[in-house]
A and B are shown apart, each in its own frame.
Chain A
């Protein structure tokens, strides 16, 4: 058990034993290799199953909206999860008083797909250390450089430290390079119109409409998603090209000013479809036009929930932003 894991466990134990929270949301040991699972601890004795390492891929803030606002929740949060929690508090999905955030400075989530591409699926065990992931497969032990295995969203992460945790376990890390996430959007913008369309279509049209991306996203908590509405039906529901286009466009657009670039949607997708290039573009625009980044505090309304008469200065006669 790692030192960090031990610290998380003792903090969770304290919260439960002292009755400070009703549930601790964290991760438990996996049933399938490389896939630790979200877990909901209500009894201190269950905490022996608690685990934490770089393969914990879910954004736990996703589970905030599954509890009534009165439930006192202890939650393990990394940088992006803390920002998602903040964005949810802004949207009144929980009250800050009923949350206890156990913060950990995040060294990035390892993309299990990258691991099995190198090791094969026959995995007996693994150990996540500072710079190396050691994977024991049936016939061989692999020592893989951690940085290269990170999910692309984590390689581009700007704020790895939780911003408003009640306790921080571990030393704060240096901030990430903010140009990386922009550069990726800008390089897509620099492609020709035909290339952009081709890429969008190639990704979107592989979609099987399983909605795992939606289920994994903390901000997709609508009781009835637009794609499930059928009187009237707003959009094609099948896996037709038009249906998949509409899903990818509108799902991403609904995250404008709310998405924290955690990458959980992409990690959840069984078809390995890229979609953060869409939400990251929207995030970049919100910053450029409104100097807003989602989840940096738990008070500021996102641009689409706010407006000012000053806006008219931004719009040209044709109606476009200048």
Chain B
């Protein structure tokens, strides 16, 4: 166990936190080691975004969205779930531990759950130690190539 705070990329569907205080916590009081990326629906998350987070230095990725039957866009998260789930096991296949990718599907009564999930995930990442399976890359510059 170390004091190292693992870097976490946190993709959040902006409909999934039903309690305003949870959303307020995410928007304003997220710990420094967690980077928030808000999306209109989990359906917007291309697996490439997840890979980019991983290659950009995230030691773990959390994706939170609505329960399948409660998707704001009716079916947006269903297709996303199939893809993201498969992407996670595909990454594991090439050696990237899928325990570093966590999905959190939230429901109405899940007040306060996102805080617990993030703390628990952080704990899990600390146990796993550093992630070295895939090469890290330089930040991508918009519009231009770089070597």
Contact = CB atoms under 8 A, between A and B. Distances in A.
A249 B142 contact: no
A320 interface: yes
Interface in A250-306: 250, 252-253, 256, 278, 281-282, 285, 289, 303-305
A229 to B, nearest CB: 10
Contacts of A194: 95
Given A304-B83, A319-B81, A320-B85, A232 B90 contact: no
Nearest to A198: B95
Contacts of A278: 90, 93-94
B1 interface: no
A180 to B, nearest CB: 18
Contacts of A240: 135, 137, 147
A256 B82 CA distance: 11
B108 interface: no
A241 interface: yes
Q: Binding site of B, secondary structure by majority: helix, strand, loop or mixed?
A: mixed
Contact of A230 (B81, B104, B136, B145): B145
A233 B143 contact: yes
Instruction: Categorize the interface residue count of chain B.
Output: 35 or more
A231 B143 contact: yes
Contact of A245 (B135, B142, B146): B135
B87 interface: yes
B102 interface: yes
Nearest to B88: A320
Contacts of A253: 47, 86-87, 90
Interface stretch (A64-72, A81-89, A308-316): A308-316
B45 to A, nearest CB: 13
Nearest to B140: A233
A304 B102 contact: no
Nearest to A200: B94
A226 B48 contact: yes
A188 B82 contact: no
A242 B134 contact: yes
A197 B143 contact: no
Contacts of A195: 95
15 contacts: A193-B95, A193-B133, A230-B143, A240-B135, A240-B137, A242-B55, A242-B134, A242-B136, A242-B138, A245-B135, A256-B86, A278-B90, A285-B89, A318-B102, A318-B103
